[in-house]
């Protein structure tokens, strides 16, 4: 069972800071990590390898520093790592990113499953997994919470729904986007950490993938971020103390009446 896991390096912070001059995210001084949702995708791929044999390949697109995230993935059980890095990839939206990743996957070949985390914590779109499936013309299931059965030709999974879950059967090769309910990611092992230092990092650029510059990066992105800003919090808060429930309700009603609500 040969699996490819597409991962993303994201800022390790819940406090987003924006440069008021450029209206872009401030990344300086903020440590980067593997996107938390991608850890569940890595774990599930490694578990399948341990059960059925094969290998796990991690693939990511980004600047040279993404190497750290890929080597961290090796410490978690990944066998091979590939980095798509080229200034021409900069500014890619989910469409251009999906296109670039799909071309790299075509070049890799020899795979049964492609794994994605549910979404990235910095973008929250959840579009790249389905986008790659569309470019590769492969079947895909999103919100996978459990892998029930796998054979050489098909996989049976549980798909998380609002009121429970569906059981779906998908032919292989195919694409899965997993949710955090699917497993508990392992911690990196000492053996894995040692292997991470020596494993070969394969780096591909736009020329290696024979990509048209009009279809990648900012040039190939139908959507662009024009401006990012933090909403102003200028609401007044009044705390009610020492009042009975009825007195508090009367005061709130009177206040809303004054405000014309």
Domains, the chain, with CATH or none: 3-215 (3.40.50.620)
Which of these ranges, 11-15, 178-182, 186-190, has the smallest mean pLDDT? 11-15
What's the burial of 235, exposed, middle or buried (CB within 10 Å: 0-12/13-18/19+)? exposed
Contact 204, 157 (CB under 8 A): no
Supply the pLDDT for residue 239. 84
Supply the pLDDT for residue 261. 62
Residue 13 confidence (pLDDT) above 80: no
Residue 117 sits at the vertex; the CA angle it makes with 50 and 57, to the nearest 5 degrees, is 45
Take residue 170 and report the two structure tokens written for it.
């998908």
Q: Give the residue from 230, 202, 186 showing the smallest Cα distance to 79.
A: 202
Residue 29 confidence (pLDDT) above 80: no
Per-residue pLDDT band for 20 (boundaries 50, 70, 90) equals low
Quick one: average pLDDT of 158-166?
A: 95
| pTM score, whole prediction | 0.84
Could you give the CA distance from residue 206 to residue 254 in angstroms, rounded to a whole number?
64
Percent of the chain with pLDDT over 90: 73
Could you give the CA distance from residue 25 to residue 38 in angstroms, rounded to a whole number?
22
Place of tokens 């890595």: 42
Please write the tens of the pLDDT for every residue from 36-84.
999 999 999 999 999 999 999 999 999 999 999 999 999 999 999 999 9
The count of other CB atoms within 10 Å of the CB of residue 205 is: 14
Relative to beta strand 140-150, strand 154-161 is antiparallel
The count of other CB atoms within 10 Å of the CB of residue 12 is: 12
Percent of the chain with pLDDT over 70: 92
Dihedral (Cα; 47, 150, 99, 143), 10-degree rounding: -80
Residue 99 confidence (pLDDT) above 90: yes
Per-residue pLDDT band for 234 (boundaries 50, 70, 90) equals confident
Q: Give the residue from 181, 149, 177, 189 showing the smallest Cα distance to 164.
A: 181
């Amino acid at each position: 069972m040969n699996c490819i896991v597409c991962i993303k390096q994201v800022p390790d912070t819940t406090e987003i800071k924006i440069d008021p001059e450029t209206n872009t995210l401030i990344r300086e001084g903020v440590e980067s990590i593997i996107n938390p949702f991608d850890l569940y995708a890595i774990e599930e791929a490694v578990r399948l390898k341990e059960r059925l044999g094969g290998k796990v390949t991690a693939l990511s697109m980004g600047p040279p520093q993404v190497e750290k995230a890929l080597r961290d993935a090796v410490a978690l059980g990944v066998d091979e790592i590939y980095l798509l890095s080229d200034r021409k990839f900069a500014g890619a939206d989910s469409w251009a990113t999906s296109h670039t990743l799909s071309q790299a996957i075509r070049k890799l070949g020899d795979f049964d499953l492609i794994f994605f985390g549910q979404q990235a914590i910095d973008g929250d779109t959840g579009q790249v997994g389905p986008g790659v499936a569309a470019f590769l013309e492969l079947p895909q299931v999103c919100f996978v919470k459990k892998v029930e059965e796998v054979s050489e030709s098909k996989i049976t999974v549980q798909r998380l729904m609002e009121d429970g879950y569906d059981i779906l059967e998908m032919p292989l090769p195919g694409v899965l986007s997993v949710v955090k309910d699917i497993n508990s990611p392992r911690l990196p092992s000492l053996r894995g950490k040692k292997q991470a230092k020596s494993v070969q990092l394969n780096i591909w650029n736009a020329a290696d993938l024979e990509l048209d510059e009009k279809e990648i990066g900012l040039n190939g992105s139908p959507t662009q971020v024009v401006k990012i800003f933090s909403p102003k919090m200028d609401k007044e808060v009044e705390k009610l103390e020492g009042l009975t429930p009825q007195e508090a309700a009367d005061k709130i009603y009177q206040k809303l009446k004054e405000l014309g609500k």
